[in-house]
Amino acid sequence: MLLRELIKLALNTLAANKTRAFLTMLGISIGVGAVIALMSIGTGVQAYVTQQFASAGANLIGVVPGRIQRGPGGGAFGSQAPLTMADYRAVAANTPNIVDASADFSRPAVFAYANNTSEVNVTGILANFSAIRNWNARLGRTIDEADVTGRSRVVALGQTVVNDLFEPGEDPLDKIVRINNVPFRVIGVMESKGSSFLGDQDAVAFIPLTTAQERLFGQQAQSVNGERIVSTIYVQAANKDVTPAVISSIDALLRERRRIPADEPSDFSALSQDELINTFGAVTGVLTVFLGAIAAISLLVGGIGIMNIMLVSVTERTREIGLRKAIGAKPSAILTQFLTEAVFLSLIGGLVGIGIGLGIAFVVSQVADFQPVVQAGAIVLAVGFSVAVGLFFGIYPARRAARLNPIDALRFE
């Protein structure tokens, strides 16, 4: 039988039972749409995570106290002896293949202005912090060298803090806000970075590092040896290729400074952007596959629906099959006809499912902070799988129709 005739027969049969065909295709459509939507969302989340880390600065390495387990499920554990200004100066002066280095000290604080308050982390920074972290002021300016050396009581606010403290449209520059009841003059408003999986990145405030260590937090910023503490040391490698060597140099330098024996693990961690991206990427990648597998289950359910409806069709058309066999139709022609109908059901359902998946991805892009990434591979995989499901679950009903005895079929009531 010619392919054109097979397709025509399949379409005529489906058109004769529109409601039944629609409900059968709906299961496939939902499955295909779910696979495309969930895989697109998962891929979008991966791209979003990569973008968020990249926006923190180029070729950035962060050194923090405590050991951090690499890979999915990682976390800080073990001894967490604080990092100090002496550690920062040693890293900045003695690490090869770096462009610059900086440090910060961060603690939660209460901000007050007029009758408004805001509770966020205040971070003491050095003058080069903004350049290394790629974080600039939208209004006014950020912390400079004169502020650091002069231990000035000045602050650059994140947009969330500005929204909490000031009335809409009010200019915050040169206003006096109180941080833990200590007056600070507002010198700038930082550019907005929005919310991410790391939280609200605009819920921040920056003051000079020396001011934070010596005038605001006092004992909290001092180690038992009387050294000034830093929360994080930031190092900007010359390029991505030298990042592993820079990390090795920092590790060797700080282990020697902190007199850590060779058989003991480090009490600090130096992590690159790529390591963080790979760690989160592995987690989101597993999540994407998991979500796709769950969505694929609905395709199997849809396939069972196709098999069920094709079995009903074989029963309803038993006399037709017997008549066609009696006038010379071969079993292979009957088999091919019913397989074509099953594949058409799943194919049309898959095409409708593409629209559903794209629609869900579009809606998510309008309400979420990230953009789902619809990949052609996901569409081909979902539709190809739906056709395979139709073919697989259509084989049994088709074989059953092909094996009918023509005499028994003609006598069937």
Burial of 77 (0-12, 13-18, 19+ CB in 10 A): exposed
Q: Which residue has the higher pLDDT, 207 or 312?
A: 207
Average pLDDT over residues 38-54: 76
- The mean of the pLDDT values for the chain is 82
Confidence check: pLDDT of 76 > 50: no
Which residue, among 391, 45, 364, 58, has the nearest Cα to 235 in the 3D structure?
A: 58
Kindly report, residue by residue over 330-358, the tens digit of the pLDDT. 777 777 777 777 787 888 888 888 888 88
Least confident of 121-130, 225-234, 275-284, 330-339: 275-284
For residues 376 and 36, give the distance between their C-alpha atoms in angstroms, rounded to a whole number: 10
| Residue 226 binned pLDDT confidence (cut-offs 50, 70, 90) | confident
The residue extents of the domains of the chain are 3-51+285-410, 102-233
Closest by CA position to 52, among listed 270, 370, 372: 370
Evaluate whether 156 touches 185 at the Cβ level (below 8 Å): no
| Region at 110 (left for phi over 0; alpha for psi -120 to 50; beta for the rest) | beta
Contacts of 146 (CB under 8 A, 6+ apart): 152
At 1 the pLDDT is 47
Strands 204-208 and 116-125: parallel
How many other CB atoms are found less than 10 A from the CB of residue 389? 29
Q: Determine the pLDDT at residue 154.
A: 96
Interatomic CA distance for residues 122 and 120, integer angstroms: 6
Q: What is the mean pLDDT of residues 158-169?
A: 93
Element (H, E) at 181: none
Is the per-residue pLDDT at 316 higher than 70?
no
Residue spans of alpha helices (H) in 258-330: 273-316, 318-326
Name, of 163-167, 195-199, 407-411, the range with top average pLDDT.
163-167
